Copies of this chain bind each other. A is one copy, B any other.
Amino acid sequence: MNFPKNVSIKEVGPRDGLQNESEMVPTDAKIEWINMLSDSGTSYIEISSFVHPDWIPQLKDATEVAKKIKRNPNVTYAALVPNNTGLERALEVNIDEVCLFLSASQTHNKKNINKTIEETYPILESVSTESKRANKAIRGYVSTVFGCPYEGEIDTNKVIMICDNLYTMGVDEISIGDTIGVANPAQVARVLEQLLRYFPKEKLAMHFHNTRGTALANVLVAMNYGITKFDSAVGGLGGCPYAKGASGNLATDDLLYMLHRMGIITGIDENNIIDAALYIENYVKNLSSHQMKILKSER
């Protein structure tokens, strides 16, 4: 097996993590927490979402958070942007990178944003054009790639078509999402073999959830295919909207444990991430990461 020397971790805790926690974390605590993450050596933090506050009330303070955090020049501060209204808000606070999202499952996309995939494209295209005009990097999230709670398995050819459309719009990098945490290593290998026929590995990131315990095994396979960018959330924040109480996003601390012990460089200080996990745990339910469980056992 081949493993990379360096891996980039994209911290999605403040967005994908908090969006799926039932509690609303106070704005000041978010700011303090993101500042802690900024000092951890990470190169990327997705800080919030500029969707309409009615959709995700937990992230309605996106503007205030973006304005008040201390920006580390070595960190890219990204945010989710669903449409041009969201983009206006994101540009006002000078977000570094704009994240678009789309589901590979028609049903999931409709349930998530009340539009078909085809109806979503022109909106994303418009956001892309304006983002490029504002000189912003663009990231695309394609969700439910490995399975959908409504449609089951998803045809990878659909994923390829969606990625192709996103890259054509000017998206710089696409995060391939296992939104409900069903992916297995053989499937990751199959999907990546197909995707890598069309797209360079540098333009792909993987976004795993640990709902069924397979996230680190899936990371391993993806690294073997040359993927070096992975999304994760401090402490395994986020849970699963389709199985309350189950594990959430792949935990940054669990990912760091594995990568660092394998001799892979991330630039991130594990202790800082553990401190950030301990801090945010004052505001959300029990974090699901293994490192946090060990830490609590030692108290």
Known pairs A220-B220, A245-B293, A247-B293; A261 contacts B186 (CB<8 A): yes
Complex contacts, A296 vs chain B, CB 8 Å: 245
Answer yes or no: A227 CB below 8 A from chain B CBs: no
Q: What B residues does A290 contact at CB under 8 A?
A: 210-213, 246-247
Is A298 an interface residue when CB atoms closer than 8 A count as contact? yes
In whole angstroms, what is the CA distance A296 to B243 when docked?
Answer: 9
Binds B, one of A34-42, A89-97, A251-259: A251-259
- Interface residue? A154 (CB, 8 A): no
* A214 and B216 contact, Cβ closer than 8 Å, known pairs A247-B293, A290-B247: yes
Cα–Cα, bound, A243→B291 (Å): 11
Q: Which residues of B contact A211 (CB under 8 A)?
A: 290, 294
Closest to A216 in B: B217
B297–A254 CB distance below 8 A = no
When distances are taken between beta carbons in the complex, the residues of chain B under 8 Å from A293 are 243, 245-247
Chain B nearest Cβ from A227, distance in angstroms: 14
In the complex where A211-B290, A216-B213 touch, is A186 in contact with B263 (Cβ < 8 A)? yes
Interface size on A, residues (CB 8 A): 40
* B residues near A298, Cβ cutoff 8 Å: 243
Q: Could you tell me the distance in whole angstroms from the C-beta of A239 to the nearest C-beta in chain B?
A: 9
Asked if A221 CB lies within 8 Å of chain B CBs, one says yes
Q: Give Cα A3 to B184, complex, Å.
A: 13
Contacts of A247 in B (CB 8 A): 290, 293
- Which residues does chain B contribute within 8 Å of A1, judged by CB atoms? 1, 185, 189, 221, 224
Q: How far is the CB of A188 from chain B (nearest CB, A)?
A: 10
A246-B294 CB under 8 A given contacts A214-B216, A217-B220, A257-B212 = yes
Q: Nearest chain B CB to A121's CB is how many angstroms away?
A: 32
Q: A187 contacts the other chain (Cβ, under 8 Å)?
A: yes
The answer to whether A262 and B186 touch (CB under 8 A), given A212-B290, A213-B290, A257-B213, is yes
Contact of A297 among B217, B221, B246, B262 (CB under 8 A): B246
Instruction: Determine if A219 is an interface residue (Cβ-Cβ < 8 Å).
Output: yes
* CB nearest to A183 among chain B residues: B261
Residue A243 contacts which of B213, B219, B221, B294 (CB distance < 8 angstroms)? B294
Instruction: Please tell me if the beta carbons of A243 and B210 are within 8 angstroms of each other in the complex.
Output: no
When A217-B217, A244-B297, A258-B184 are in contact, do A212 and B263 touch as well, CB less than 8 Å?
no
| Residues of A that sit less than 8 Å from B by CB | 1, 3, 182, 184-187, 189, 210-214, 216-217, 219-221, 224, 240, 243-247, 251, 254, 257-258, 261-263, 289-291, 293-294, 296-298
For the complex with contacts A184-B261, A213-B213, A240-B294, 9 further pairs of A-B residues with Cβ separation under 8 Å are A1-B185, A187-B262, A212-B254, A213-B290, A214-B258, A216-B217, A243-B298, A246-B297, A247-B293
